[in-house]
Amino acid sequence: MPGLRARHSLALVQGLASLALPLLACQSVGIGIPKSEIPADPIAFNYRTPEEARRRADAYKDAENAQLDAARKQLLGDENAPVSREMYSSADHLKSYVAQVLGHKPQQEELSPGRLALLDPHSGRVTVLEAARRGSVPLTWSADHGRLLFAQPGERDFQVYEYERERGTVRPITHGPTAYTEACYVSEGRVVVTAFDAGSDVPRSRIEISRPGGGGPFEPLTEWGVEYDPTCAPDGHSVVWTRENPDGRSELRLIVLEPGAQVVALAPGRQPRFSADGAWIVYTAPLGKDWRIWRMRPDGSSRARIGSSERSEARPTLSPDGRFVAYVSSEALPRRYLYLRRFDGSGDMILFADGDGENPVW
């Protein structure tokens, strides 16, 4: 798969040297949340230094201006005519997900792909995991927070690996030739993954499951399409993921891991994440032109929005005690900050803004 790049990535390396960086921005927005209330469990995320974030923002501005100029000439025939900036929004649109993860990313993303890091919510320190390559993104923690699945790009593809915190070691979970970008733990030591068919004329993906113990070959849980973002129930017996339909709408689907089980459509949305007790799923769903954080029961009932922010929100993840939601948002795109909100929707605050923070996993 020549030229394949990954937004989700990681590498097999012995030992994880780390660099501790001070967290300079932990400022409240609105009501705020006392630090004493926040669980101390580390949040894995994709981190860009302030300089990397600035360079990426400048590149986006240059690219956007070039696109607007081209639009004036091509669509309006007048390079001086006004063009809405919304025409070329850099929003996280699902339709471009597969293309981006397969390497067709804008130049500004290549300039600053970020590093895999751990955020201590109490001390405000960021620890960069030096053994993971640039562009690596966390996927999910084990129940005891002792192991972390993450993905990392290679020269020709990308695969899923596992980091063990106590030993500081990394081991591969998936192998080529298929490219794997996402994963979560289920029962009997198995993992559920997103597999990409890069050889197809139209890039496509599906959800697959390993054998007991985590080995291959992987068996499909879904047909080929645009299927991704799997999240596994804590009891290991069901999986929820995102499917993008041909009309561009995305929906959450669930399957119970037992013979003969049928796929169930739950709700419109994307980016699902189970709570640690399995009682809730947090996800994002469209509201007007933007995306907001919602919650629902695993059967699709009790849907409700979490909070009332006016910002577009992405990648929600619940704290291990289920009382807080960390998520990605920004006051000014393309910057990306980590925010924190109580599960009941109160107490919105900035958790990380010293550089960029994306893809949090708590």
pTM for the structure as a whole: 0.81
pLDDT of residue 21: 37
pLDDT of residue 89: 26
Q: Give the number of residues written for the chain.
A: 362
Distance CA 174, CA 169 (A): 16
Token pair of 38 as six digits:
């926040």
Residue 1 covered by a domain: no
Are 176 and 194 a contacting pair, CB within 8 Å?
A: no
pLDDT of residue 70: 55
- Print the domain residue range for 282: 18-361
Distance CA 314, CA 344 (A): 17
Report how many helices (DSSP H) and strands (DSSP E) the chain contains, helices first. 3, 25
Counting as low any pLDDT under 50, the low residues of the chain are 1-30, 68, 71-72, 74-108
Query: Closest Cα to residue 241, out of 212, 219, 264?
Result: 264
At 227, which CATH number?
2.120.10.30
pLDDT of residue 126: 96
Are 284 and 267 a contacting pair, CB within 8 Å?
A: no
Structural domains in the chain (count): 1
Residue 4 covered by a domain: no
pLDDT of residue 66: 64
Residue 2 covered by a domain: no
Residue 95 covered by a domain: yes
